[in-house]
């Protein structure tokens, strides 16, 4: 996820939206209407900020069912993030791109 954020996000504003929008621009949109990349960012945030249920292996606790589900989600998220990062880098190679600068523009009817 850090690799994806480094490539797609400028650190200002809604990083989830930046990541989702720019992945769609760079790699293309999914046919599925769900915001898959946004969901991936939410999953990352849960683990980074401590709200995810983590499975701890200590003599004083045992894994709970929800811990197992959270770990499965996390494993799937890690795999998907790695695939997105690989696809991003492959697209750079395919296009022979060594530097990307993102900019947004808008138009209004005044």
Mean pLDDT in each 10-residue stretch from start to end of the chain (110 residues)?
90 86 88 80 80 62 65 86 94 92 69
Domain ranges of the chain: 2-95
Cα–Cα distance measured from residue 81 to residue 68, given in angstroms and rounded to the nearest whole number: 20
With residues binned 3-state (H G I as helix, E B as strand, rest as coil), the percentages for the chain, rounded to 5, are 60, 0, 40
For the full predicted model, state whether its pTM sits above 0.85. no
Cα–Cα distance measured from residue 89 to residue 108, given in angstroms and rounded to the nearest whole number: 34
Q: Do residues 7 and 88 lie in contact, with contact meaning Cβ atoms separated by under 8 Å?
A: yes
In the block, tokens 């900020």 appear at: 49
Q: Residue 57 region, left (φ>0) first, then alpha (ψ -120 to 50), else beta?
A: beta
């Amino acid at each position: 996820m850090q690799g994806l954020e480094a490539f797609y996000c400028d650190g200002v504003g809604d990083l989830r939206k930046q990541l989702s929008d720019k992945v769609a621009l760079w790699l293309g949109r999914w046919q599925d209407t769900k915001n898959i990349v946004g969901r991936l960012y939410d999953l990352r945030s849960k683990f980074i900020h401590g709200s995810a249920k983590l499975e701890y292996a200590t003599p004083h606790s045992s894994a709970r069912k929800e811990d197992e589900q959270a770990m499965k989600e996390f494993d799937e998220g890690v795999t998907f993030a790695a695939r997105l990062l690989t696809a991003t880098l492959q697209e750079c190679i395919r296009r022979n791109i060594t530097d990307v600068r993102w900019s947004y523009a808008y138009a209004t009817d005044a």
